[in-house]
A and B are shown apart, each in its own frame.
Chain A
């Protein structure tokens, strides 16, 4: 288990009672299969960013599934925004999910419905959301998808679907953002926009976790690695001086 180094590392791993994401020795796998992640520990404060790297099949996506409460830990504990996910009722878990924005590696859409309707879905499902259709259009505009807003989602290219998934994950201003390989296939022009969006969300107080095959250029944050099922902080992040702004 990785020991947090509160005074030497980025705020992302500083222990805090109010951690947005806290994993404590979490072991997880699929159905009756072997463990994919073993004893994973991580503390992520609001406003912090973690970039989780590792080879394909290492368990990066599994980590995100664990944090988005699609998987339950076999051992250990997962606490999100102060709630232990194993102790939540279904209704409370649904409420927690509304505070998590997840952009999948291969996102699903309602292909017969428009891009706008797909991106606005989190707002339509949450009557308390303060975001509006204009926020949806602003987000689509920033990502260069304004002209595609009225097209069926099924007609979008794979790169556009990745961007649309990110827009859907971010539109409700979630407290936790999970992005699975968000730069893959979006094109060189869109990459800095994606990085800027994630940075901005982090600046606004969201805890951001990005799964990627390597460091994400321009995205500040602690780099974690998954090796043989073990989640560990990369040496460069352990030795990274504290950000005076945090």
Chain B
């Protein structure tokens, strides 16, 4: 091989760089998945409206009946402030809680994502058994911040990947530029620009691919650490189970993406050096 960047220092630096990036990307992906799961759980609920005529007692009986239903995590009367908050969000304009009439609403949250057909029927049956007439609606998200957290985790993961690829590009370009004597010699000995760039591109791709492969192994070890540092409790089994197809894709694609970025960077660095060396002064 005419060019080789396979020097231990550079190899280890690249491997650590890629591994760190991968760990953050995979960690962000895991946090995103958890946030998405939490969001799905949080939105799996219903709003129950006790139909008039109804007394305060009817509302309390309905709460008791609903709380006792299987799969229900919480059943709580909705106060005016909460109702105003939801109505403001749904309607798009501010609603004053003091202006609202008695709504006789109950918020029901489930342990798992609800069965859109069976759960409402079950709740209706429980309420009818308790002698209460009511209507059941799908609830809005309990925590509107959760979808944003999912988006944030996705953006953070993508941002880290992009930054990593840029870092690899510039590292490879710098490594190629540091080979100025080699490029000058080649130019003097009649190497073409295309052949020079191709050789440097191959060298950049080679070291980045190997470093990327090593980094995948490192990242698989480091990613759980990142997630635990973020407050997640995980075991080896749960970690394997939590790997999404996207995670597997990232891990498999990392060496190839790294090789591509480094090849482009090495070519760019060599191009600058070659053009300087081959200048007909």
Which parts of B172-229 form the interface with A (CB within 8 Å)?
A: 181-182, 184-195
On whether the beta carbons of B185 and A97 are closer than 8 Å, the reply is no
Q: Is the CB of B185 within 8 A of A110?
A: yes
B window 78-101: CB within 8 A of A? none
Which residue of B188, B192, B281 contacts A72 across the interface (Cβ within 8 Å)?
B281
Contact flag A97-B188 (CB < 8 Å), given A31-B281, A69-B280: yes
B281:A30 contact, CB within 8 angstroms: yes
B2: CB under 8 A from chain A? yes
Contact among A69, A109, A122 with B189 in the assembled complex (CB-CB below 8 Å): A122
Cβ contacts under 8 Å, B188 to chain A: 68, 70, 97, 102
**Given the complex of chains A and B, what is the CA–CA distance between A166 and B216 in angstroms?**
48
Residues in chain A near residue B2, CB distance under 8 A: 124-125
Contact B185 A121 (CB under 8 A): yes
Q: How far is the CA of A169 from the CA of B187 in the complex (A)?
A: 14
Q: For window 100-148 of chain A, which residues contact chain B by CB distance below 8 Å? A: 100, 102, 108-110, 121-122, 124-126
Please measure, in the bound complex, the distance between the C-alpha atom of A70 and the C-alpha atom of B280, giving whole angstroms. 5
Q: Is B38 an interface residue (CB 8 A)?
A: no
The reply to whether A125 and B280 contact each other, CB–CB distance below 8 Å, is: no
Inter-chain contact total with CB atoms closer than 8 Å: 57
A31 vs B181: C-alpha distance in the bound complex, in angstroms? Answer: 21
Q: Is residue B125 contacting chain A, with contact meaning CB distance below 8 A?
A: no
Q: From B182, which residue of chain A is reached at the shortest CB distance?
A: A110
Contact of A98 among B190, B193, B278, B281 (CB under 8 A): B190
Say whether chain B's binding surface is mostly helix, strand, loop, or mixed.
helix
A72 to B186, CA, bound (A): 19
Number of A interface residues, CB 8 Å?
A: 27
Q: Cβ of A95 and Cβ of B190 under 8 Å apart?
A: yes
Query: Out of B182, B184, B192, which one reaches A90, CB within 8 Å?
Result: B192
> How many of B's residues come within 8 Å of A, CB to CB?
18
* Cβ–Cβ < 8 Å partners of B185 in chain A: 108-110, 121
Q: How far is the CA of A71 from the CA of B281 in the complex (A)?
A: 5
B142 to chain A, nearest CB (A): 64
What is the CA–CA distance of A130 and B187 in the complex, to the nearest angstrom? 20
Given A108-B184, A110-B182, A72:B189 Cβ within 8 A? no
**Please, which residues of chain B bring their CB within 8 A of the CB of A100?**
190
Q: Is A96 an interface residue (CB 8 A)?
A: yes
CA distance A71 to B189 in the complex (A): 15
Quick check: A125 and B281 within 8 Å, CB to CB?
A: no
Task: Determine whether A94 belongs to the interface, using a CB cutoff of 8 Å to chain B.
Answer: yes
Binary interface profile of B, 270-281, with partner A (CB < 8 Å = 1, else 0)? 000000001011
Residues of A within 8 A of B189 (CB): 97-98, 121-122, 125
Please pick, from A30, A94, A99, A108, the residue contacting B192 in the complex, using a CB distance under 8 A: A94
Which chain A positions have C-beta within 8 A of B194? Answer: 91
Q: Would A125 and B181 count as touching, CB distance under 8 A?
A: no
**Residue ranges of B at the interface with A (Cβ–Cβ < 8 Å):** 2, 181-182, 184-195, 278, 280-281
CB-defined A-B contacts under 8 Å, sample of 7 = A69-B280, A90-B193, A94-B191, A94-B278, A108-B185, A110-B182, A122-B190
8 nearest CB pairs, A to B: A98-B190, A97-B190, A72-B280, A94-B192, A125-B191, A94-B190, A71-B281, A122-B189
| 10 more CB-based (< 8 A) A-B contacts, given A68-B188, A71-B281, A122-B189 | A70-B188, A70-B280, A71-B280, A85-B280, A94-B192, A97-B190, A99-B190, A102-B188, A110-B182, A124-B2
